[in-house]
Amino acid sequence: MRIGLDKLQPLGRALMLPIAVLPVAAMLLRLGQPDLLNLTFIAAAGEAIFSNLGILFAIGVAVGLARENHGAAGLAGAVAYFVAVEGAKALMAVPPEANGGFTDQAAVDLAVAAWKAKQMAKLSVPCGIAAGLVSGWLYNRYSNIRLPEYLAFFGGRRFVPIAAGVAGVLGAIIFGLGFPILAGGIDALSHWVVQAGGVGLFLYGLLNRLLIITGLHHILNNLAWFIVGDFHGTTGDLKRFFAGDPSAGQFMSGFFPVMMFGLPAACLAMYHSAPPERRTLVGGMLTSLALTSFLTGVTEPIEFTFMFLAPLLYLVHAVLTGVSMALMDALGVRLGFGFSAGLFDYVLNFRQSTRPLLLLPVGLAYAGIYYAAFRFCITRLNLLTPGREPAGETIAEKGTDDVKAGAFIQALGGSANLRSVDACTTRLRLNVGEAAIDEARLRRLGARGFVRPGPGLLQVVLGPVADQVASNIRAELARAPAVGPFAPDAEAILGALGGPSNVRGWHDKAGRLSVKVADRARVDLDALGKAVPHGAAFVDDRRLHLLVGDVPLLHLHFGEGLREGVTR
């Protein structure tokens, strides 16, 4: 089970990159409508994003999966997508009625082309995700490939889009010849979801919350929001809502009572459950969490405050989410969002919604249920929610971004313990060594929870600031301060770097040695961690920094030894 989750973790993270563009698309599309600003060019700008989600997923997923999120993977994703889509159109079997009854050949060709484009639009997101997955894998596997000298121009990263084009041909065969099967499968899934009714929506809401623990809820959401259902060629609950489908919104409406009312009420219960003398200390934090959920629909920082403290309470939260999905559907409420179920999306899409005012009584009822459930469980089970921890654990660390980034690095075991630093919407996603992690200090720095999906993998839940914190940590790693002198073992370091033939260059840089390697896969970071006491870390695809300390000693002991090893 754990191995399977490890393999799916990068996909869940990568899917968030293309999804991040949806808020601006939804905002532009709604603002341009006749009932708001009535500006057709603004609406067309938003529709352009929704109409090209396939290529956005191809590029975004590829970049999200690639080492260092390199743009060459995005180019490869676009190549694979275009080859697969256009090749599939040429291979599709066209039914006789697709010609529109025209007799003129030019008109027939136009009608057939329109039919093919409409049919492929139904599979654009699955095709884009597949193209992104393959291209990301190709980049990680072949971005450092060496070709014979007469083909050297096409080696390295240039090889990846070429390989992606070949993979796109295979995708064209699968999506072109297999179109009836793939389209039939999606139609069958859509019909099953519709027939499942409230039960299906309950299960969706339940699983959506439970999968947050692993970060895999994005995969489930993509299936519901971008694939299920069909409205004049537009698929997915989210896309159909903004295309004007009156039945769309089933997979979004039920989140509004929970995110706008339920979880903010849970924050209020945590505040009232804290000792009076500590409420001032945690009040600001809980207010911030509640407002984030109410306004934007970002809930993970709240959920991780009780997810592991009270698993039973979290299960109640998941069940209530499922009930809300079924209840809102039974009441005929249809709400939609471009980002999440917060006040901003509710107000923006109010006129496009169906029976939106019913959210208010349902939401108030949910606020009462959540408050009572949390207040009872926290006090009866003595849960250590914010403000109820042992003295000293609620004191937050302050400082500039650089200072806090350094504190994060120390709490995460030091720079040598960080193999890779990435982030999704609300979490740091880290690959770490064996050094101890200071969870107490991470909590003082703003962490709301921790997930360890597999060996060497750590996720730190921070909220919407996660991506900025990750950027600050990477920047701090790149300019790590000099540390004490040492006499390095050049032979051991050379071996850990993959041997002399793998070293392409080096230079001194403020107490560090910046080394460029030919093949990242040949570098043994564990061995480097032992040979270089102060650690080593990659700063881009093929360059890493060795923290060796004093510069003169670096010249005398390390630089010369490395130079001799490479010369040999």
CA neighbor of 255 nearest in space, from 328, 153, 338, 163? 328
Rounded Cα gap, residues 48 and 2, in angstroms = 39
pLDDT of residue 509: 58
Other residues' Cβ atoms within 10 Å of the Cβ of residue 426: 25
Residue 103 confidence (pLDDT): 77
Q: Is 521 exposed, middle or buried (0-12, 13-18, 19+ CB in 10 A)?
A: exposed
What is the reported pLDDT for 544?
82
- Number of C-beta neighbours around residue 429 at 10 A: 22
- Please list the pLDDT of the chain residue by residue as tens digits (568 residues): 344 455 566 776 778 788 888 888 889 998 998 888 889 999 999 999 998 999 999 999 999 888 778 899 999 999 999 999 999 999 998 888 887 778 788 888 888 999 999 889 889 999 999 999 999 999 999 988 888 888 888 988 999 999 999 999 999 999 999 999 988 888 887 778 778 889 999 999 999 999 887 767 878 888 889 888 888 888 889 999 999 999 999 999 999 999 999 999 999 999 999 999 888 888 988 999 999 999 999 898 898 888 877 788 899 999 999 999 999 999 999 999 998 899 999 999 999 999 999 999 999 999 999 999 999 989 988 888 888 876 555 455 565 666 688 889 888 988 878 888 888 778 888 888 887 888 888 888 888 888 887 788 898 988 878 888 988 888 888 775 433 334 456 677 878 888 888 888 777 655 567 788 888 888 887 777 777 656 677 777 788 877 655 433 444 344 444 544 444 4
Residue appearing with tokens 């999200």: 64
User: What pLDDT sits at residue 258?
Assistant: 97
The distance in angstroms from the start CA to the end CA of the chain is 47
The separation between CA 294 and the C-alpha centre of its own chain, rounded to angstroms, equals: 21
* Class at the top of the CATH hierarchy for domain 490-547: alpha beta
The kind and range of the H/E element at 481 are: none
Tell me the three state secondary structure of residue 216: coil
Give which of 295, 264, 242 is closest to 48, Cα–Cα: 242
3-state helix, strand, coil in the chain (%, to 5): 65, 10, 25
CA distance 388 to 278: 8
Every domain of the chain and the residues it spans: 5-196, 254-381, 401-479, 490-547
Q: Is 267 designated active site?
A: no
Instruction: Give residue-wise pLDDT tens across range 46-94.
Output: 999 998 999 999 999 999 888 778 899 999 999 999 999 999 999 998 8
Q: What pLDDT score was predicted for residue 2?
A: 41
Q: What are the pLDDT digits (tens) for 521-537?
A: 888 877 777 776 566 77
Q: Catalytic: which of 127, 267, 377, 424?
A: 424
Q: What is the pLDDT of residue 172?
A: 96
CATH dotted code for 401-479: 3.30.1360.60
In 3D space, the residue among 439, 422, 436, 431 whose CA is nearest the CA of residue 525 turns out to be 431
Predicted TM-score (pTM) of the model is: 0.71
Q: Is it true that 401-479 and 490-547 share their CATH fold? A: yes
Angle between helices 105-121 and 124-142 (to 10 degrees): 70
